Structure 1
Amino acid sequence: MMMAEMYGVALRQMKTTDGLSVEGLSEQQPVLLVFLRHFGCTFCREALRDLADRLPEIHGYGGKLVLVHMSDNATAEKYFEKYQLSGVSHVSDPGCRFYQAFGLTKGTARQLFGLHSWIRGFQAGVLDGHGVGTKQLGDGFQMPGVFVLQDGQVREKFIHKLAGDRPEYVSLLASCCNVE
């Protein structure tokens, strides 16, 4: 099965906590679909802060943020509330089925625990105050990724090469969406 077909099948199956189809949402407006690492991860919490800080810009491009996580919805909503992302649409995927459908793999030792991750982890966790991961709330080996969806199609994507990569969320959205 080709990647575009796999995306299509997954998009039709993905439902937000509101019961809305992610594919349907992408037919109404561009969707910034962000697959997170587990909530115990420093980089996941950094991503939540980055997204909260950029939410006005995301909306300025007419985009809708949808988060995919590996936790139950109640746990996810506690984290989203903490990072001022209450009310953001999200999809619970504890079995990582959608992660796999979008080609997001399990990380290697280098991707997860290499020097870059240690340096970035110190920066994000200690210096920037996102804390050091103490408990794992999902698959600790699962790599994250970001996809911009429009009309049921993937228009842009960012596949993390390292756990500590920091995507330019707004730039991804801006590269395929016009400000209205």
Structure 2
Amino acid sequence: MATAHDTKIVVDIENFKLCTVMKEDGESISIRSLWEHQPAIFVFLRHFACDACRRHALDVWENRKKYEEKGAKIHFIGNGSPHFLAEFKKTFGLQEASFYTDPTLKTFRAAGFKKGFWIDPGTMHSRPEFLYKAIRFAARKENAGSGNVWQLGGVLVVCPGALPTYQFTSLTMGHFPPINDIPVIVASAKKKLETVDT
């Protein structure tokens, strides 16, 4: 059975715009700087070792022209240690992509994305299988710092002026927005902003 789409905008934008994210070299930047001059499409990933998130990141990047043709910019946000960013980008040929991380999960919380021991594994695993894999994953030394296995992600579009215009909240593992949703939202939001400016 298909998972319902949750596109209600729930971000606490006042708290969200106070958050910082980290580059792969560990430098922190204000997240609000990413939407000052153009709409920002934030793609939040569960963690850098998540197979579903890797596929989603590749899918988004392969379709980046469709996402960015209306003047927006894609930014991927994970929650692992900064050093995982370079490895993730190199492994999957995403060196040109804009990647940040937030190990504190403050951006995830302000955005309203779901987290907890009882997150729904969706169709990818049975519940017992997911719990077994998640606990085993968290216990493996080589995965330390790759991110929070209990965190779900989603997509958030924020336009200049701290205006959230689209949000997709993942309800299960591997639950991502339809590829055609975001460009339409960005185009209509940009048109609305241009109307206000004139």
- TM-score normalised by L of structure 1: 0.76
Aligned residue runs from structure 1 range 115-126, under 5 A: 116-118=123-125
In the alignment, is the contact (CA less than 8 A) between 1:30 and 1:177 conserved in 2?
A: no
Q: How far 1:23 moved relative to its partner?
A: 1.8
Aligned residue runs from structure 1 range 88-107, under 5 A: 88-107=97-116
In the alignment, is the contact (CA less than 8 A) between 2:85 and 2:100 conserved in 1?
A: no
CA distance in structure 2 between the aligned counterparts of 1:19 and 1:95, rounded to whole angstroms = 12
Aligned residue runs from structure 1 range 19-30, under 5 A: 20-30=29-39
Q: Where in structure 1 are there 5+ consecutive unaligned residues?
A: 120-132
Question: Which secondary structure does the structure 2 equivalent of 1:146 belong to?
Answer: strand
Alignment match, 1:130: none
In the alignment, is the contact (CA less than 8 A) between 1:43 and 1:164 conserved in 2?
A: yes
Identity of aligned residues (%): 21
Q: CA RMSD in A?
A: 2.7
Question: Which secondary structure does the structure 2 equivalent of 1:12 belong to?
Answer: coil
- Does 2:59 match 1:50? yes
Give the number of the structure whose residues are more often helix, by fraction: 1
Match of 1:9 among 15, 19, 23: 15
Q: How far 1:156 moved relative to its partner?
A: 0.3
Alignment match, 1:159: 169
Q: How far 1:110 moved relative to its partner?
A: 5.9
CA distance in structure 2 between the aligned counterparts of 1:52 and 1:84, rounded to whole angstroms = 10
Alignment match, 1:128: none
Alignment match, 1:124: none
In the alignment, is the contact (CA less than 8 A) between 1:66 and 1:89 conserved in 2?
A: yes
| Distance 1:9-1:102 versus aligned 2 partners, 3 A rule | same
| Distance 1:167-1:7 versus aligned 2 partners, 3 A rule | same
Q: How far 1:167 moved relative to its partner?
A: 1.6
Cα displacement string for residues 121-161 of structure 1 (whole angstroms, at most 9, x for unaligned residues): xxxxxxxxxxxx88642111101110011021210010011
In the alignment, is the contact (CA less than 8 A) between 1:34 and 1:146 conserved in 2?
A: yes
Aligned residue runs from structure 1 range 23-42, under 5 A: 23-42=32-51
Alignment match, 1:126: none
CA distance in structure 1 between the aligned counterparts of 2:182 and 2:106, rounded to whole angstroms = 24
Larger radius of gyration: 2
In the alignment, is the contact (CA less than 8 A) between 2:114 and 2:171 conserved in 1?
A: no
Alignment match, 1:175: 185
CA distance in structure 1 between the aligned counterparts of 2:75 and 2:180, rounded to whole angstroms = 14
CA distance in structure 1 between the aligned counterparts of 2:76 and 2:102, rounded to whole angstroms = 10
Q: How far 1:37 moved relative to its partner?
A: 0.8
Q: Where in structure 2 are there 5+ consecutive unaligned residues?
A: 1-9, 127-136, 192-198
Q: How far 1:173 moved relative to its partner?
A: 3.2
